[in-house]
Amino acid sequence: MSAAASDSPSDFSRVRLQGISRHYGRRRALANVTLDCAAGVVTGLFGPNGAGKSTLLGVLSTFVRPSSGAISYGDRTAEQWGDALRSRIGVLGHDLFLYGDLTAFENLLFFARLYGLPNPGEVVARALDKARLTDRAHDRVGAFSRGLRQRLALERALIHSPQLVLLDEPFTGLDDASAALLIERLRQLATSGAIVVMATHDFDLADGVVDEAVCLSSGRLVPMPGAGPLRQRYRDALSRERA
């Protein structure tokens, strides 16, 4: 699988969703969503609770199978990619994907090894440094505050330098300094050619980083055109949708 991961990155320049629907029984989580996310662009995903943001991220991460519609990663579908596709996707979930009984170092080391990274020890040391957790590397994650865990979880999601980065509410629990660092980090990711999709409620923080914004309203995708502040564009989009 590592051979596939070292393919030229050019075949992963965009992720395309076409007519994606997902329903759970009678509840429609996603309705006919078509979305195109390009490399180097941070896509912001907005919308009220239960609008389908997490489901959309789940579909993008290959975990949730759409009821209908097609997704392509670069020029291939998930089936054509196989297991190797997952090594190119990094997910920061709403639950943080960390083991509370392990230390920060052990958590990262476990996932670095699971992703088959060379020199996992070095990779982890660098990741801890980026999360500014080096001095707490050997403390149990269960004892961390939400903000610290959030920082660690971000580095866990990015440990294998994924080309598609999916973030669900990444600002939760972060103080101002950490949030600024996260924004900086997302900018770097985009500049280095990653595809970033981020679901968030925090318009003010997102203003500084989001290149393209869309919102979901009961499973339907609504574009948020314009260049003004995101909060205003979001209100306009929703009122247009309701009209």
Asked if 122 touches other proteins (CB under 8 A), the answer is: no
Own/partner long-range contacts of 99-102 (Cβ < 8 Å, ≥24 apart): 99/141, 100/140, 100/141, 100/142, 101/140, 101/141, 101/142, 102/140, 102/141
The residue within the footprint of other proteins, chosen from 16, 40, 69, 99 (CB under 8 A), is: 99
Q: CA 243, CA 240: separation in Å to the nearest integer?
A: 5
Comparing CB distances to other proteins, the nearer of 95 and 176 is 95
Contacts of 4 (CB under 8 A, 6+ apart): 81, 82, 84, 87
What binding mask, one character per residue, do residues 155-184 give for other proteins by CB under 8 A, x or -? -x----------------------------
Asked if 101 touches other proteins (CB under 8 A), the answer is: yes
The residue within the footprint of other proteins, chosen from 35, 46, 86, 148 (CB under 8 A), is: 86
Q: Which stretch binds other proteins (CB under 8 A): 103-111, 130-138, 185-193, 208-216?
A: 103-111
Nearest C-alpha neighbor of 59 from the set 6, 8, 103, 15: 15
The residue within the footprint of other proteins, chosen from 24, 79, 118, 227 (CB under 8 A), is: 24
Asked if 118 touches other proteins (CB under 8 A), the answer is: no
Cβ neighbour number for residue 21 with a 10 Å cutoff: 16
The residue within the footprint of other proteins, chosen from 13, 14, 16, 32 (CB under 8 A), is: 32
Asked if 5 touches other proteins (CB under 8 A), the answer is: yes
Asked if 83 touches other proteins (CB under 8 A), the answer is: yes
Residue 163 near residue 194 (C-beta atoms within 8 A)? yes
Task: Reduce the DSSP state of residue 7 to 3 states and report it.
Answer: coil
State the minimum distance, in angstroms, from the CB of residue 180 to other proteins: 26
Asked if 63 touches other proteins (CB under 8 A), the answer is: yes
Q: CA 74, CA 15: separation in Å to the nearest integer?
A: 6
Q: Which stretch binds other proteins (CB under 8 A): 9-17, 62-70, 123-131, 225-233?
A: 62-70
What binding mask, one character per residue, do residues 189-228 give for other proteins by CB under 8 A, x or -? -----------------------------x----------
Residue 44 near residue 206 (C-beta atoms within 8 A)? yes
Element (H, E) at 116: none
Asked if 144 touches other proteins (CB under 8 A), the answer is: no
Nearest C-alpha neighbor of 150 from the set 159, 141, 161, 140: 141
Give the binding site for other proteins (CB under 8 A).
1-2, 5, 23-26, 28, 31-32, 58, 61-65, 83-87, 89, 91, 93-102, 106, 110-111, 113-116, 140, 156, 218
